[in-house]
Structure 1
Amino acid sequence: MQLDLMTIFFQPLHLLASTTETADSSLVLASVLLSLVVVYFASKLGGELSNRIGLPPVLGELVGGVVVGVSALHLLVFGDAETSSSVIMQFLTFTGSLSPEAANSVFHAQSEVISVLAELGVIILLFEIGLESNLKDLLSVGLQATVVAFVGVVVPFAAGTAGLMLIFGVGAVPAIFAGAALTATSIGITSRVLSELGRLNSKEGQIILGAAVIDDVLGIIVLAVVASLAKDGAVDVGKVIYLIFSAAGFLVGAIALGNFFNKSFVAVVNVLKTRGELILPAFIFAFLMAYFAASIQLEAILGSFAAGLVLEETEKRKELQQQIIPIADMLVPIFFVTVGAKTDLSVLNPAIPSNREGLIMAIFLVTVAILGKLVTGFSVFGKEKINRLAIGVGMIPRGEVGLVFLGIGSSVGILTKPLEAAIIVMVIVTTFLAPPFLRIVFPDPEPAALSNTAENP
């Protein structure tokens, strides 16, 4: 998802303008509003149901998107599909007496607008993740967590990429992208379960959480590299090296300049007295960082993540974290629901012979995703009486981070439908399996652990 900001913001306007030649532009707005109603309803219902059964709400948003999308109800359909397949467009065509040409124009304009909102959602999401990632914690987790994180990125990435290319004949760039999706670890899911078990402050818990945070940083760098490669559709070793050093240098440089910028940011915010005095300067900084990242052929999300890391160090971080929540609540669900809506799970139907390869591919990715993280526990050294299996299990869930990879791969159009569906199955299965597996591999919590958790919720 190499974001060309001019294209992102002006192409939809061009489409909206061209639409008015064949249909009332109010119908474009009407189709966007109906689409957002579907998005928010699916995200809320899915999130609530997911939360009730002890799973992260974001997984429910994904499943909700699958239900309202091309896999089931066809309420939310995008421009690469037939206009007639969209229930919303059928409704507008009937009520507005649209000609086929006008309906097609409205449909494509609506698809572009929703896609742009989804792109903004993922930029906001990575900014929010950066705000929640404490730099001091990253630097203090120690060598053990760093080794676990490194193994948890390299093993599944290498095994997944090589397996897809050698076994299934997948092209280099989509195989690399799918391999990158296997590197993620959802810190939110694991930390919640560890807290419930009274193991958050155990040696295993600290290593898992530290490694998961480092995983996120490494994963975002990997994502920036592979998404940039996707633009050319081929692997250039020289460009890979350039992108790796550029991504790492950009992140380190942004953090290094953080202390200087922090003081300037706080000083500016303290002078402003009108509404939005904190959130708007923060977004200006985040969007500028996203632009700078895109301008050097990296992902815009790397810039917004770096902006979040920098602003997390300011005295305004708590207030900023609170203010960004309602904005994220509006835009981020659009991203996750559209990811699910675009995924056609029918390609995994084993009754159709041509689909069986995609189903086998999904089984392969799930296997690599689980085993690739289980081995991380056995990379811990110099520690006696430590539950290595629990560490490996704690690294398994992909959750929202895996969905970010999937969404970006889908947006740049390099993933085939079977591979896209296989990745979404991998994310769902690993997210579902991790909580019960953690409860199995950890024995009953000790009273002291429970009391510590109660004192430090």
Structure 2
Amino acid sequence: MTWFYPVFAITTEIQEGNPSLILAGVLLSLVMIYFASKIGGELCSRIGLPSVLGELVGGVIIGMSALKLIIFPESGLSAEDSLIIQLLQTTANLTSGTEEVVFHSMSEVISVLSELGVIILLFEIGLKSEIKELIRVGPSAIIVAIGGVAFPFLLGTLGVFYLFHLPLIPSVFIGAVLTATSIGITAKVLAELGKLSSEEGQIIIGAAILDDILGIIILAVVANLAKTGEVEISQIVYLIITAATFLIGIILIGRLISPWLVTMINGMKTRGSFLLTSIVFAFIFSYIANMIELEGILGAFAAGLVLAETEKRRELEKQIIPIADIFVPIFFVCVGAKTDLSVLNPTIPSNRESLILASFLIVVAIIGKLVTGFTVWGQPHLNKLAIGVGMIPRGEVGLVFAGVGAATGAFNSSIEAAIIVMVIATTFIAPPLLKIVFKDKPFQEETAN
């Protein structure tokens, strides 16, 4: 996940610009996002592919790689590249000199809405999961998670170090990026395939969450190594203890609070009390996770798990669907919109070296996760290939890891481009592969589109 833009910075930009024009830009952006989401999702659904793939492709089409309707400053583009800014200049009297302020402000608003989308998605996924089932598959999920971190990390680090003769620190950083797993993308596909509650689905979700935690720890260690040249054991111990305490503690505390919460809600007379209280519950958990240097989505998932244990579970599952339908597509379309396909162009000389390295990384990224499903021994009834495929997509998590590496100066633009190609490939290949490996049952959706 990306870090939230400081609120004071957004406020300052809004004060400097025209709030009505910023709102107009956000509204136009949302119109484009929803159009891309529904058209792409509908087309993919009609040809038997998960709709999330259509949302990603729709994002690519309206993003920086094609129409440039939804673009973001961090991509290196400016207001003059944005078609929405040009439309505002034509229709809303956007004055010269304020374009950049409006562009940056509306982009940050869309980014925040995107982050809310993935938080709500993981809250919804938590509601569809069961603590007992996650505990039951816990040992398998732990084995898969450890394998999903160890295999890509070792294969990637050793491969680029010995085959491509990169320095040690960039090699280690590339290995760290390969450990990432996008739980958001996998979870949405599993829900659409009706496999989220299956034993394989629960193993994938549990392993992806642990992967996220282990990946954060590895990334923090490697980033510190790149900056100082040494590893702080205290930092590793702190992150491990913090993550374990959070996941166990927040669920135990939540289960103590939830009966009181339901009793309080049952006594309320105003409309939407249960839905809003539950979302506040999820946001508080997400806030706590962010404050202790974990991902906010872990808190949202934990909140969903806790509320799934209450008598209100089915009611809340139905009520959260319209909220998810509004916010979740923003996340997936934005992931696609931020995808830079220009790094795939072999006619550009600087891309050729990157594509060679990227080809190796893609192979390692896929094989390194596929083998994790087969680390679960003694359970022949499991679709182990599906478990491995479910761990493949790097998505937004991989992009964040790559961004951290670039920020620390661990690798140059050529290596960063190769990593981006790997992220693109694994993100787009996983949804159709999951459909194929779960072909034993017909396509069905667990969530409304």
Short-chain TM bin? 0.7 to 0.9
For the 8 Å contact 1:153–1:183, the answer to whether it is kept is no
Q: What is the CA–CA distance in structure 1 between the aligned matches of 2:313 and 2:399, rounded to whole Å?
A: 28
The offset of 1:308, in angstroms, is 1.7
- How far has the Cα of 1:130 moved from its partner? 1.9
Specify whether residues 142 and 17 from structure 1 end up closer, same or farther in structure 2 by C-alpha distance, changes over 3 A only: closer
Distance change >3 Å, CA 117–CA 45, structure 1 → 2: same
Paired AA for residue 255 in structure 2:
N
Q: Deviations over 1:237-271 (max 9, x none)?
A: 43233212211210011122233112111111112
Structure 2: how far apart are the matches of 1:378 and 1:257?
A: 35
1:425 equivalent in structure 2: 425
Distance 1:116 1:192 in 2: 25
Residues 1:12 and 2:24 aligned together: no
Identify the match of residue 128 of structure 1 among 117, 124, 137: 124
8 Å Cα contact 2:120-2:324 kept in structure 1: yes
- Give the letter for the 1:251 counterpart: L
Measured in 2, the distance between the counterparts of 1:216 and 1:338 equals 21
Maintained 8 Å contact 2:50/2:192: no
CA RMSD, aligned part only? 3.4
Query: C-alpha separation between the residues in 2 aligned to 1:410 and 1:320?
Result: 37
Determine whether 1:32 maps to 2:26: yes
Tell me, yes or no, if the aligned pair for 2:178 and 2:365 is still in contact at 8 Å.
no
Matched, 1:82 2:78: yes
1:220 to 212, 220, 225: 212
User: What's the CA shift for 1:68?
Assistant: 0.6
Residue aligned with 1:186, SS: helix
Q: Work out the CA distance in 2 between the residues paired with 1:96 and 1:209.
A: 48
Q: Which residue of 1 aligns with 2:413?
A: none
SS in 1 for 2:67: coil
In structure 2, relative to structure 1, the CA distance for the partners of 1:73 and 1:177 (3 Å cut) is: farther
- Render the CA deviation track for 1:367-388: whole Å, top value 9, x for unaligned: 22332233235434346xx378
Comparing 125-134 with 38-47, greater Cα deviation is found at 125-134
Paired residue total: 425
**Do 1:369 and 1:426's aligned partners in 2 also have CA atoms closer than 8 Å?**
yes
Structure 2 equivalent of residue 341 of structure 1: 337
Aligned pair partner of 2:40 in 43, 46, 60: 46
Partner residue, 1:442: none
Between 101-110 and 223-232, report the one with greater CA deviation: 223-232
Q: Please, which moves more after superposition, 33-42 or 241-250?
A: 241-250
Instruction: Name whichever of 94-103 and 180-189 sits farther off.
Output: 180-189
Shift of 1:433: 3.1
Q: After the TM superposition, which residues 328-407 of structure 1 pair with which residues of structure 2 at under 5 Å, given as runs?
A: 328-382=324-378, 386=380, 391-398=384-391, 402-406=394-398
Q: Decide whether aligned partners of structure 1 residues 290 and 63 sit closer, same or farther in structure 2, where only a CA change above 3 A counts.
A: same
Work out which of the residue numbers 254, 258, 274 in structure 2 matches 1:262.
258
d(CA) in 2 for partners of 1:72 and 1:275? 43
TM-score, with structure 1 as normaliser: 0.81
Q: Distance in 2 between matches of 1:8 and 1:140?
A: 41
Percent of aligned pairs with the same residue?
A: 44
Q: Distance in 1 between matches of 2:325 and 2:87?
A: 28
- The residue that corresponds to 1:292 in the other structure is 288
Structure 2 vs 1, CA of residues 177 and 133 (structure 1 numbering), >3 Å: closer, same or farther? Answer: farther
